[in-house]
């Protein structure tokens, strides 16, 4: 009987904490969907949760769920000329996941805007993110006024959303030198296809016509970060590959990424970082720079 009571208490605690986290970010639907002269709101906002998101975006739902999607609020506007705008406000569990899903859809090159943390415009589309919110606006038949109308409504929505406009801290630690602009991404799980590497912040670089990718993995604690390295090295050794180690940096050829160059990976506290590249001097620069940035941003001591 005591075990059943303990289970019940635990379930109630999880439910409470989940809803506490969920309700800590609130959207006032009367404000966040602004009134616009010449436009009317069609019906009431529609709300979608993880169990029925597929009803709205079908095949794309799985990608959003991978980034810990929590809620979607959607509303349509219509003008007297029967033009239409759809506003979708996605809420994810934290800034990392919101940034991650935004990066899944943003172009590498595009018309980037200073709305929220970052946004971009394409014909009939304006997307941006702020805090735990990813906002997507789509329009139909607006003609030459498309960009100005979408920008106007986006700025009004942005003002009503809670949270601050900033990138996740590890993104700020990715070195700027030779970084390909707007190549930053967040991989929510199974980085490089390995379950033991979890999630990662990545960016692409080009030095001397050689492209490579730099990554930073943020773990819950020191032990989990150490386990990542240990599991990776064990995996490599099981493949009969002998890694080298120097001052905490492991170097080896990953059997599944041989063409990418040498894997160079290091850990300090609860962070793991590295890159695929053969050039030792380039490798040393980026590993050192990331570590300096992690210290600078007080993520490690």
Domains assigned to the chain = 29-160 (3.40.1000), 169-296 (3.40.1000.20)
**In the predicted model, is pLDDT for residue 9 greater than 60?**
no
Q: Percent of the chain having pLDDT more than 90?
A: 84
d(CA 156, CA 276): 43
Structure confidence by residue, pLDDT tens digits, 270-283 = 999 999 999 999 99
b/e sequence 145-164, b meaning 16+ C-beta within 10 Å: ebbebbbebbbebbeebeee
Q: Percent of the chain having pLDDT more than 70?
A: 90
Structure confidence by residue, pLDDT tens digits, 87-111 = 999 999 999 999 999 999 999 888 9
Structure confidence by residue, pLDDT tens digits, 223-270 = 999 999 999 999 999 999 999 999 999 999 999 999 999 999 999 999
Structure confidence by residue, pLDDT tens digits, 151-177 = 999 999 999 999 899 999 999 999 999
């Amino acid at each position: 009987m005591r075990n059943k009571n303990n289970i019940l208490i635990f379930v109630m605690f999880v439910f409470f904490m989940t809803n506490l986290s969920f309700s800590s970010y609130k959207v006032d639907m009367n404000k966040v969907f602004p009134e616009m002269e010449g436009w009317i709101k069609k019906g009431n906002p529609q709300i979608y949760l993880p169990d029925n998101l597929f009803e709205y975006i079908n095949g794309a739902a799985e990608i959003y769920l991978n980034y810990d999607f929590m809620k979607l609020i959607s509303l349509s506007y219509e003008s007297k000329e029967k033009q239409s705008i759809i506003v979708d406000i996605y809420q994810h569990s934290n800034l990392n996941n919101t940034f991650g899903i935004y990066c899944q859809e943003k172009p590498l090159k595009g018309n980037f805007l200073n709305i929220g943390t970052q946004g971009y415009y394409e014909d009939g589309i304006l997307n941006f993110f702020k805090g735990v919110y990813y906002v997507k606006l789509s329009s139909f038949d607006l003609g030459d006024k498309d960009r100005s109308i979408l920008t106007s409504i986006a700025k009004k929505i942005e003002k009503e959303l809670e949270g601050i406009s900033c990138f996740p801290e590890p993104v700020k630690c990715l070195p700027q030198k030779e970084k390909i602009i707007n190549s930053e991404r967040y991989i929510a799980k199974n980085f490089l296809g390995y379950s033991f590497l979890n999630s990662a912040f990545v960016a692409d670089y080009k030095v001397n016509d050689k492209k490579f990718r730099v990554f930073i993995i943020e773990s819950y604690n020191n032990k989990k970060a150490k386990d990542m390295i240990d599991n990776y090295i064990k995996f490599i050794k099981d493949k009969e590959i002998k890694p080298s180690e120097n001052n905490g940096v492991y170097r080896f050829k990953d059997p599944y990424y041989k063409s990418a160059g040498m894997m160079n990976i290091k850990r300090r506290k609860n962070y793991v970082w590295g890159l695929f590249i053969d050039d030792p001097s380039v490798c040393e620069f980026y590993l050192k720079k990331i570590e300096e940035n992690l210290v600078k941003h007080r993520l490690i001591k």
